[in-house]
Each structure stands twice: as C-alpha cells, then as structure tokens.
Amino acid sequence: ETGVTQTPRHLVMGMTNKKSLKCEQHLGHNAMYWYKQSAKKPLELMFVYSLEERVENNSVPSRFSPECPNSSHLFLHLHTLQPEDSALYLCASSQDRRETEAFFGQGTRLTVV
C-alpha cells in the first residue's frame, strides 16, 4: 500500500464515547499533520509532528489527544466530543515539515451525536 491511509473512513460516536483515528504513511516522510475540515471554514491545522515530536498544537481542545509512536503512524484520540466537532479529519505527511509539500489521506468523516 502506498501514500497516506486513514482509518476508519467514517465514524459515528456519542458524546461520552472514546475513539481513535489512525493514520499511516508509506512515503518515508518524517512529519505528520492532523487537520480539521468543516463546512464554511478554512482548513484548520490542528497538530504537527516532526520526528515523532509534537512541534505544533494550534489551540486545540484537550478532548483531542494526538499520539505519534513512530514516523509512520499518527493517532488522534477522541473523548467527550461535542456535536460541533463533527467534521472531516484529514491526516497528511511531508518531508521536513514542509506543509506545502504534504500528501493527504482520504480523511475520516466524524459525526458526533
């Protein structure tokens, strides 16, 4: 498998649930990103990991908790979400934190009920 793969593609969760989104990249990149894509809003960069260290956290609520165990995998742990957190969550990877050269996964469509 090549590129950036995200699982699951769709997720429905209640506000009291705990779930995790997974991202895997097969491109040999050393930086990974989480984005939130909501209707009528610009794409929001949530977190950036470089060499498995979190280097950017853009004022994201603590109910979103990222984890990067190695340079190929990135997780987003979710707990006690709100309905307004429903969105498409995109993962991306690049070499050397060059966001402008990132490759994107297909996204996880999250619905919080």
Partner 1 sequence: AQSVTQLGSHVSVSEGALVLLRCNYSSSVPPYLFWYVQYPNQGLQLLLKYTTGATLVKGINGFEAEFKKSETSFHLTKPSAHMSDAAEYFCAVSRAGNNRKLIWGLGTSLAVNP
Binding site for partner 1 (CB under 8 A): 4, 6, 9, 40-43, 45, 90, 92, 97-101, 104-107
Question: Which of 71, 23, 26 lies closest to 50 in space, CA to CA?
Answer: 71
Residue closer to partner 1, measured from CB, 52 or 56:
56
Residue closer to partner 1, measured from CB, 39 or 62:
39
The nearest distance, CB 88 to partner 1, in angstroms, is 9
- Determine phi and psi for 9, rounding to 5 degrees: -80, -30
Between CA 76 and CA 84 the distance in angstroms is: 17
The nearest distance, CB 16 to partner 1, in angstroms, is 28
The nearest distance, CB 76 to partner 1, in angstroms, is 15
Residue closer to partner 1, measured from CB, 82 or 99:
99
The nearest distance, CB 106 to partner 1, in angstroms, is 5
Half-sphere exposure of residue 42: CA atoms within 13 angstroms, side-chain side: 3
Question: Which of 94, 93, 96, 101 lies closest to 23 in space, CA to CA?
Answer: 93
First to last CA, the chain: 33
Residue closer to partner 1, measured from CB, 44 or 52:
44
